[in-house]
Amino acid sequence: MTSQSFSIVTISFNQAEFLPRAIHSVLQQFDVDLEYIIVDPGSRDDSRKLITELAPQAKHLFEPDQGPADGLNKGFALATGDIFGYLNSDDEFLPHTLKHVAETFRTTNADVVIGHSEVIDPSGRRLRRSFSDFPEPKAIVYGAAVQMQPSTFIRRSAFQAVGGFNKDNKIAWDGELILDLALKGAKFFMIDEVLSRYRVHPTSITGTGKLADLRRSYSRRKFEKVLGRPYCWYDDYIRYLYLVRKYMRDPRALVERLRYGPVFGIYPQ
């Protein structure tokens, strides 16, 4: 098979504290054909200065947008690569990531390749590992299948087939994209290794658990999208069974959870 070219999009908004490490983690990728696109809708800190200084070879998109999902769509509209990946400005790739992902796409018929992440704190200290699960729609809507966003890579054709991100989703645009891909029949391949560092901090959605009401509303909406009915009382028991299956399939996830605790909401407001 021919070599695969990558388009990586980073969305950033007032993340100057973490942005240099995110940019460096992309630019240090080796032995791959890489296009880098950085989207900033109007940061008021030093982000834009850092972007132009640290990544002059990247495509810079400095214009207002309607939120992260819209910014990602605008970034990918500029993309020319075969494989799309998206890295938030507070996350990082590991040095080997894109090379391993490229090899996986070359040797499989996957539309989407997904790996695991290590969760880090603001200083970069490792808190725990977070293991991705195979994106089965029912398991997703029962909260028993997680896919680590910075370790997810998608063929251009598959991304375009589902119309990209839902720009109206302000809480889980990445999760909705994976669900849409699964419902569309995309072929997934799981890499059983850590590909990224996922940072939680006192201003992140995951770290604070903020927008919990919006998250619950989205969870109910995606449940109805897949199962065609509202969530009922007995779904609590079905969810429990899916969680048992999840941890039986990969006990490492349960060990990490019991040993180090949850990721969501570790910095309460």
pLDDT at residue 214 in the model: 82
Q: Residue 211: its pLDDT value, please? A: 65
Joined together, the tokens standing for residue 2 give 């021919």
Three-state secondary structure string covering the chain: CCCCEEEEEEECCCCCCCHHHHHHHHHCCCCCEEEEEEECCCCCCCHHHHHHHHCCCCEEECCCCCCHHHHHHHHHHCCCCCEEEECCCCCEECCCHHHHHHHHHHHCCCCEEEEEEEEECCCCCEEEEECCCCCCHHHHHCCCCCCCHHHEEEEHHHHHHCCCCCCCCCCCHHHHHHHHHHHCCCCEEEEEEEEEEEECCCCCHHHHCCCHHHHHHHHHHHHHHHHCCCCCCCHHHHHHHHHHHHHHHCHHHHHHHHHHCCCCCCCCC
Domains of the chain by start residue, with CATH: 5-260 (3.90.550.10)
Q: For a pLDDT cut of 90, what percent of the chain falls above it?
A: 87
pLDDT, tens digit, for every residue of 174-187?
Answer: 999 999 999 999 99
Distances in Å between the Cα of 248 and the Cα atoms of 116, 190, 237 are 17, 17, 17
Contact yes or no for 80/9 (Cβ under 8 A): no
Q: pTM for the full model?
A: 0.94
Residue-averaged pLDDT of the chain: 93
Indicate if the pLDDT at residue 206 is higher than 70: no
pLDDT in tens, 10-30: 999 999 999 999 999 999 999
Let me know: does 43 contact 11? Beta carbons within 8 Å: no
